Structure 1
Amino acid sequence: MSDSLRKRPFWLRLLRRIGLILLILVAAIVGVRAWDAFTGPPLPPWLTMAPEEPGAAAIDSMDWPSWQAAEDRLLRTVSADLERKLLPGERIAQNRFWTESPLNPAQLARNWNRSFTLAPEGPARGSVVLLHGLTDSPYSLRHVAFFYQARGFHVVAPRMPGHGTVPGGLTNVSLDQWQAAARLAMREAKARSGGGPVHVVGYSNGAAVALRHTLAALEKPDLIRPDRVILISPMIGVSPAARLAGIAGWPALLPAFANAAWLDRMLEFNPFKYNSFPVHAAKLSERQTAALSRDLEAARRAGTLDQLPPILAFQSVVDATVIAGAVQERLLDRLPAGGHELILFDVNHQSLAAPLLTRAARAVAARFTLAAARPYRTVLITNNGTADGKVVARTWEAGTTDATDVPVAIPYPSHLFSLSHVALPFPPGDGLYGFAPDPADHQGAELGRLLVQGERGTIIVSQDILTRASSNPFFPLILDRLALELGDGAELAGETPSPALEPAP
């Protein structure tokens, strides 16, 4: 080492070495991505097409009929363009974009990729906006939609820009467009509420959109403020690795490495959800959670957090898509008391795979519950610590550290070792994702039943997809809790909600 380097302070030499290591790491990531992109097959048309959606300002100027008309034109244009561009080898039954595929949404009873509304039979007693997640479609909250409709609520479920067309639509969409779509839906819901309450239900990224809209409505009286906020698998925090997603896409700046713009490139066999995932969408996930954090901090400084409507959140304690604990640590723990509630779904401590669960998975629920008293109610659906292995709703009331157990009639199926991020809004009978699909609910494929075994490398999808839970045996508990939120409770014919899931006082 030269005398000049020895004379530099230790911290300066350390920073220099760290910088060199980071530079090597970035170069390695870019190199691997470039090689993978260069040697991979050409991108299919559903990844190279990037349909032009209305911008945020245009959406803000629309009413619901004009939004649906624009959506209809978009979907027809995309379908026609794809039909011309598909190669013979892409015109296969497993490809949802081939018009003759049994998985093509147009071949099914209803195309749930479209924005939709549902009207109650009689006068509306309120309305609800349903905001789906990233890569999803309005299909993901249709069971919640039917529930609200049956209880006299008008339902408004927008398709978020970039979704429901082709995965390439996610390469040029923005956070502002999603917020504008939420504002449009809230305006329509208010107009159809019959003077009753307006609820908003957000799933995954839709939960972040719902929260950001609600926080903005605290400051802007022209925005529709919801009376209740319901969050399902909310995207409050994502892995720090999402910040590196942009680096992974750098090689795509050169046409020869266009594949590098995609983190996942898969055949699109799901009629209502994208399998492929672009780098841009990963970047949006990180930007969304960062923007939500800034919005929460701004509301804290303004002293308006106590004006938030009651928040009811549902979260699996294990979640590979978002940081499961973020709903507590970055949201609920920071709010003043206000009737908020967190309902958690534990891993299955009695499953066939229980002996194979990691130590962290077996103990993860303790992170959420074994702590100081919190200003919101916490409910854990679990079979941990019960003598007979049956499921209980373990409840900590706001401001207490003592839990009470109430039996839950629904058992934890032995084949499930846990729930997942994607499972929560789907009942076991869902025709596409359910592990016991209802034959009357045909959706082109029964993906929830694909619990198959065989040799590696012989099927077109990752085996991770086939082992991930895609439906929720405890979905009736979610509906029970929503029924109590609406004040229906045990008055519903044949439906008796669990006392442990009553609304917080």
Structure 2
Amino acid sequence: MRHMFVRLVKTIALIALLSLAILLAWAFESRSMSALRIWHTAVLESEFAAADATPQTTLQDYLDRETELFEELEEKVYERTPPTDELIYNRYRGGGLQDPASLEQNWNRTFELVPQQIKGGVLLLHGLTDSPYSLRRVGEILYARGYYVLGLRLPGHGTIPGSLTRVRWQDWVAASQIGARHVRERIGVQQPLIIAGYSNGGGLAVKYALDALNALDDSKLPVPDRLLLFSPEIGIAPVADIANSHKLLSFLPYFEQFKWLSIEPEYDPFKYNSFPKNAAQEAWAVTAEVHRQIEAAHEGGRFQDFPDVLTFLSWSDATVKTSATVQRLYDKLENEGSELVIFDVNRASRLSPFIPASNASPLGRLEASSDLPYRLTVITNATSDSLQIVEKSKASRSAMIESRPLPMTWPRGVYSLAHVAIPFAPDDPVYGTGDSQSGPYHGLPLGALQPRGETHLLTTSLGQLMRLRHNPFFDYMEQRIVEDIDKAQ
């Protein structure tokens, strides 16, 4: 017995030593990343946190705090960023090409769209490292249909990437609840309340709906009538759960870069390029909490009251696990009013040698089931010899697939959509093709950049530059959104 105990202690000690060695190697490797700048290290004390919220906290309280935050941002970051040539495309160079504050509307801040006659309300929840800009176009679509729109800036966003080193997922949840309460108060009890979420905001939208169902007797947490999700973050790689192991060493100035997964130039006016490990861990915590709550609601018989959901996602997604949206959320739905719209990869035969066989058509994987509790729609090639697009769909609890040609084709050179492409139109002034613009913008058209040259030369990753930033099938998505919200009314 004593011999077995000694062996166990030695094994545990060996595992601990190996883990420490790996952690040290990872920490030393992080020192090869770019140096941290003021937008990585500054501390903005005015940022909202869950501890600041009470049941009486109003949107105006939140906006007052946000005003203080952006004044602090100006003082601590913009005024201390030199106007050097090195930073000509930096978003923190005041008055520069990429300075979002120089636009008529700074879309990093919370915004409202108020129609003359309100027919409903929508709360927009953006994604991780993003800003309210990411769902601006979706909000404008809903506004045109008579919806009051609240595009909420979530804590830690729209300012500096360094703020994501301190944010907690509870801060996002508290802000979401303030926003939802305000929208319901603004539109009254008779009008439909929609929550739209993109990426991490999609996970937060689902969590809010679950929280509201668990508090049906709490009038301060109104239940949404419908959810609109875009590339929702229902599941991500579990390695994100250990991201905060950096804290064992990153408190040392020598290893301060160890707090970061990536340190990139900040040229995007409405999205951080640098990504701290804490953000990954907090995003994983949201998905874990959503998964736990879905299972509990399903087992407790409460999921039948979950609102109908319309989701748009790319079958190829390097940020979130598409399978989690299907298995953790959609497979658990009990009503038949929801729909999952999947944008397939380009199935043209000439591209097939470059796409792994494991990336099978989503329709092929799901069509065998005749008891899906939701409508399934796949946007894909008409045939393997064509770039023409068709809509293939089947109703809930059905095996019959209906096909409808669409007036769209795959753009030249595009082999799939991407996580970050879904909510942006081709004419988006920042992330579109650059051929036309749907709004005022004088900076770099980031979606139109097509750099060519040698690898490992640029200071930003090629993955960021080559990723599709807009949805070539946005017009179809807009049509489906309009049809869906008209049903809600």
What TM-score comes out, normalization by structure 2 length?
0.92
Deviation at 1:303, TM superposition (A): 1.4
SS state of the match for residue 127, structure 2?
A: coil
Work out the number of aligned pairs and report it: 481
Out of 139, 143, 160, which is 1:166 matched to?
Answer: 160
1:101 aligns with 2:99: no
Distance 1:123 1:20, change over 3 A: same
Q: Identify the residue that residue 157 of structure 1 maps to in structure 2.
A: 151
Q: CA offsets per residue over residues 239-298 of structure 1, 9 Å max, x none? A: 122123122453202222111001111111000000011111011011111111111122
Out of 177, 187, 190, which is 2:181 matched to?
Answer: 187
Q: Answer with 266-275 or 36-45: which moved more.
A: 36-45
- Structure 1 residues 49-448: aligned runs within 5 Å: 49-52=42-45, 53-60=47-54, 61-86=56-81, 92-120=87-115, 122-194=116-188, 195-220=190-215, 221-222=218-219, 223-350=221-348, 353-363=351-361, 366-383=364-381, 385=383, 388-439=386-437, 441-443=439-441, 444-448=443-447
Contact 2:387 2:410 (8 Å CA) reproduced:
no
- Aligned-partner Cα distance in 2 for 1:409–1:21: 62
Q: Identify the residue that residue 28 of structure 2 maps to in structure 1.
A: 35
Contact 1:90 1:98 (8 Å CA) reproduced:
no
Q: Answer with 268-277 or 44-53: which moved more.
A: 44-53
- Aligned-partner Cα distance in 2 for 1:39–1:416: 33
* Percentage of pairs with the same residue: 35
Distance 1:17 1:482, change over 3 A: farther
Out of 39, 63, 70, which is 1:46 matched to?
Answer: 39
SS state of the match for residue 464, structure 2?
A: helix
SS state of the match for residue 361, structure 1?
A: coil
Distance 1:384 1:406, change over 3 A: closer
Contact 1:351 1:414 (8 Å CA) reproduced:
no
Q: Answer with 319-328 or 460-469: which moved more.
A: 460-469
Deviation at 1:302, TM superposition (A): 2.7
Contact 2:382 2:405 (8 Å CA) reproduced:
no
Contact 2:308 2:335 (8 Å CA) reproduced:
no
Q: Identify the residue that residue 498 of structure 1 maps to in structure 2.
A: none
Distance 1:258 1:374, change over 3 A: same
Distance 1:481 1:171, change over 3 A: same
SS state of the match for residue 53, structure 2?
A: helix
Quick one: which amino acid aligns to residue 245 of structure 1? A
- Aligned-partner Cα distance in 2 for 1:336–1:90: 58
- Aligned-partner Cα distance in 1 for 2:85–2:289: 39
Contact 2:237 2:320 (8 Å CA) reproduced:
yes
- Aligned-partner Cα distance in 1 for 2:336–2:98: 45
- Aligned-partner Cα distance in 2 for 1:140–1:243: 26
- Aligned-partner Cα distance in 1 for 2:231–2:119: 27
- Aligned-partner Cα distance in 2 for 1:174–1:34: 23
Q: Identify the residue that residue 474 of structure 2 maps to in structure 1.
A: 475
Contact 2:346 2:380 (8 Å CA) reproduced:
yes
SS state of the match for residue 458, structure 1?
A: coil
Quick one: which amino acid aligns to residue 19 of structure 2? V
Contact 1:350 1:414 (8 Å CA) reproduced:
no
Which structure 2 segments of 5+ residues have no match?
Answer: none
- Aligned-partner Cα distance in 2 for 1:192–1:437: 38
- Aligned-partner Cα distance in 2 for 1:440–1:331: 34
- Aligned-partner Cα distance in 2 for 1:355–1:40: 35
What TM-score comes out, normalization by structure 1 length?
0.89
- Aligned-partner Cα distance in 2 for 1:130–1:375: 26
1:484 aligns with 2:483: yes
Quick one: which amino acid aligns to residue 179 of structure 1? V
Distance 1:453 1:20, change over 3 A: farther
- Aligned-partner Cα distance in 2 for 1:428–1:135: 21
Q: Answer with 440-449 or 177-186: which moved more.
A: 440-449
Deviation at 1:436, TM superposition (A): 4.1
Q: CA offsets per residue over residues 183-237 of structure 1, 9 Å max, x none? A: 1111121122253111110111111111111111112132111111111101000
- Aligned-partner Cα distance in 2 for 1:214–1:461: 38
Distance 1:315 1:140, change over 3 A: same
1:449 aligns with 2:458: no
Q: Identify the residue that residue 495 of structure 1 maps to in structure 2.
A: none
Deviation at 1:357, TM superposition (A): 1.7
- Aligned-partner Cα distance in 2 for 1:437–1:132: 26
Deviation at 1:396, TM superposition (A): 1.7
- Aligned-partner Cα distance in 2 for 1:365–1:399: 15
SS state of the match for residue 359, structure 1?
A: coil
- Aligned-partner Cα distance in 2 for 1:18–1:477: 58
- Aligned-partner Cα distance in 2 for 1:67–1:110: 19
SS state of the match for residue 25, structure 2?
A: helix
- Aligned-partner Cα distance in 1 for 2:34–2:312: 40
Q: CA offsets per residue over residues 122-153 of structure 1, 9 Å max, x none? A: 21011111000000000000000110111111
Q: CA offsets per residue over residues 408-466 of structure 1, 9 Å max, x none? A: 11112131100011000001111111124524534321111112211113322111112
Quick one: which amino acid aligns to residue 69 of structure 1? D
- Aligned-partner Cα distance in 2 for 1:17–1:103: 56
Distance 1:55 1:392, change over 3 A: same
SS state of the match for residue 168, structure 1?
A: helix
